Amino acid sequence: MKIETRVALTRRGELRIRQIEAIPVVVPLLQPIKWARGEIKDIDNVIVVVTLSDGTQGIADAPPRPTIYGETQQSITTIIRDHFAPKLKGVDAFDLTGVWAVFDQYAGNPAAKSAIDMAVFDAQAKHLGITCAELLGGTPKALPVNRRLMLGSNKEMLAEAEQMIKRHGFRAWKVKCGIDKKRDIALLRALRKLVGDEHEITIDCNQGYSSQDLLETAPYFEEVNVALIEEPIPARDGAGKRFCAERSRVPISGDDSCMTPDDVLHELKLGAIRALVIKCARTGYTRSRQVLALAQSFYTPAHNGTQADMQIGCVAAAHFASTYTTPHAHEFSSFIDAKDHVANEAPVIKNGCLQLPPGLGIGMTLDPRKMKKYRIDL
Residue 135 lies in a domain: no
Compute how many other C-beta atoms are within 10 angstroms of the C-beta atom of residue 123: 25
Residue 189 lies in a domain: yes
Q: Is the pLDDT of residue 119 over 80?
A: yes
Confidence of residue 372 (pLDDT cuts 50, 70, 90): very high
CA separation for the pair 315, 318 (Å, rounded): 5
Confidence of residue 315 (pLDDT cuts 50, 70, 90): very high
Residue 134 lies in a domain: no
Residue 245 lies in a domain: yes
* 377 compared with 133, residue with greater pLDDT: 133
Domain identity same for 173 and 124:
no
Tally of structural domains, the chain: 2
Domain identity same for 108 and 153:
no
Domain identity same for 70 and 104:
yes
Domain identity same for 159 and 68:
no
Q: Are 273 and 255 in contact (CB under 8 A)?
A: no
Identify the pLDDT of residue 301.
97
Quote the domain boundaries for residue 284.
Answer: 143-364
Domain identity same for 115 and 159:
no
Residue 138 lies in a domain: no
Domain identity same for 178 and 100:
no
Q: Are 227 and 200 in contact (CB under 8 A)?
A: yes
Residue 147 lies in a domain: yes
Domain identity same for 20 and 96:
yes
Q: What is the average pLDDT score of the chain?
A: 93
Chain-centre distance for alpha carbon 374: 22
Identify the pLDDT of residue 21.
98
Residue 116 lies in a domain: yes
Q: At a CB cut-off of 8 Å and minimum separation 6, what does 258 contact? A: 264, 267, 273, 276, 277, 291
Identify the pLDDT of residue 264.
96
* 318 compared with 2, residue with greater pLDDT: 318
Task: Return the active site residues.
Answer: 176, 204, 230, 255, 279, 307
Domain identity same for 257 and 319:
yes
Domain identity same for 168 and 93:
no
**CATH number, domain containing residue 326:** 3.20.20.120
**CATH number, domain containing residue 84:** 3.30.390.10
Identify the pLDDT of residue 289.
98
134 φ, ψ (degrees, to nearest 5)? -65, -40
Q: Are 109 and 76 in contact (CB under 8 A)?
A: yes
Domain identity same for 219 and 314:
yes
CA separation for the pair 293, 130 (Å, rounded): 23
Q: At a CB cut-off of 8 Å and minimum separation 6, what does 287 contact? A: 100, 114, 117, 260, 261
Domain identity same for 167 and 311:
yes
pLDDT digits (tens, 9 = 90+) for 68-86: 889 999 999 999 999 999 9
Find, among 279, 335, 290, 275, the residue nearest to 311 by Cα.
Answer: 335
pLDDT digits (tens, 9 = 90+) for 123-175: 999 999 999 999 999 999 999 999 999 877 889 999 999 999 999 999 999 99
- Range in 6-20, 154-168, 173-187, 272-286 with the lowest mean pLDDT: 6-20
Identify the pLDDT of residue 10.
58
Rounded mean pLDDT of 330-335?
A: 93
Domain identity same for 243 and 202:
yes
